[in-house]
Structure formats: structure tokens, C-alpha cells
Amino acid sequence: MAESALTNTGAVATTPAGWRQVTSDWSSDQRAFKKVSWGKAMMWIFLLSDTFIFSCFLLSYMTVRMSTTVPWPNPSEVFGLHLFGQNIPLILIAIMTFVLITSSGTMAMAVNYGYRRQRKTTAILMLVTAFFGATFVGMQAFEWTKLIMEGVRPWGNPWGAPQFGSTFFMITGFHGTHVSIGVIFLIIIAHRVWRGDYDVERRGFFTSRKGNYEIVEIMGLYWHFVDLVWVFIFAFFYLW
């Protein structure tokens, strides 16, 4: 008994502390990741790596803006539209944000109906989400065209700090690429859902187990991430 107590005491004494304790607990628990699918785990890892990239971009933007000695352009003036005889600040950006946030709601509904195995409703909601995403990209293309015609370039702009153009095209362009890729995959998966590939387990890309619509949820994780990143871009780039 004494030897057993001594052994237990020694085990407690040598147990790692802090974050090493957390790592030890999770790695020793066989049930921690037992029910996590490979596809969902890989999507989370991808989103984590993408979070680091967007964080670096936004931190770089904040560093450049706070360190430049040249006045930074006023977003309310740069991103305003002349409508009804007056300049309306950030109206296009507000519409873009509303469209993208709305698409997050339709994507959540698609995931919900996917787990109910209502494939036609799921496919329609995914196509609606893709439509909202394509609308967002179209408005972003209009925004780029307008600024380019006004003289904004990656190496300069007519309103002040030359870094404005480079950070604007880099950050919004990288995010717009993510949205465009998401739209393409939404259309592909919606087509497969509508065709019933996930009910009969038809062979091909993006096909999961029979009767399993998990691919819709994985697509939803990606889309919600894209929407969340835009919230930070909107706050740091357009409102600051």
C-alpha cells in the first residue's frame, strides 16, 4: 500500500504543468478525436493556417498605417459613391457586408437541411449562397475598377500614403479569391447534392459515405470563416 501510494505521489510530482498538462491529457484520451472525420479535421487545420495568414496581413496593415508619416486616405471619402446628387460614404461596402453576412445565414440553413437529408432544399440554399458570394465578388470588382480609374495603384494613390494601394489590393484581393473559390465549390457540391450523389454514394470527388451530408458542413465551415474574416477587414480597413 505504501509502495503504491509512493508510486502515485511520484506520478503526480512528475506530471507536466500548464499547457503541457493540457497536451498530455488530450493525447492520452482515445475518445478526444475518435468521432472527428478526416475531412472535417483537415478543414479545421486549413482554416487555422489561413487564420495565421490573414492575421499577418491585418497586422502588417496596422503597422504600416501607424508608422507612415504621410496622411492616410479617409475611407469615407475614398469608398463613397455619388448617388442622387450627393456623396454617400461606404454605401457600397455596407451592401457588400450585408450580402456576405446574409449568405452565412443561407449556408447555415443548407447545413441544417443537409443533415435532414432534404437534398433539393439543401442544394437550392447552397446555390443561393453561391449567388450571394458571386454578387459580393461582382461588387468588389466594381470597387476595384472605380479606384483604379481614380488613380489608385499598388505603389501609390492620389489621396496620400502610397501604402494604401498595396495593402488594399493585397488584403481585399486575397479575401476575394477565397470567396471566388468558395462560390465554385458551392456550385459543384450543390450539383452533386441535387443529383443525389450522397444518397447513392456515387463515385467521384467530394463523395462521402452513403446518406452522409457531412461535405455540406465542411463547406459551411469554410464559408463561415470567409464571412468572419470579412468582418475584421471591414472593421480595420473601412471603419478605421
pLDDT at 210: 57
Q: How far is CA 44 from the centre of its chain?
A: 11
Q: What's the pLDDT score for residue 153? A: 87
Report pLDDT for 5.
43
Other beta carbons within 10 angstroms of residue 26's beta carbon come to 10
For the chain, list residues with pLDDT below 70.
1-17, 22-36, 201-211
Query: For position 196, what pLDDT does the model report?
Result: 81
Please give the model's pTM, rounded to 2 decimal places.
Answer: 0.80
Q: At 163, which amino acid appears?
A: Q
* Residue-level pLDDT at 204: 60
Query: pLDDT at position 25, please?
Result: 62
pLDDT of res. 11: 44
Q: Which of 60, 110, 95, 61 is nearest to 224 (CA)?
A: 110
Residue 156 is predicted with a pLDDT of: 78
First CA to last CA distance, the chain:
67
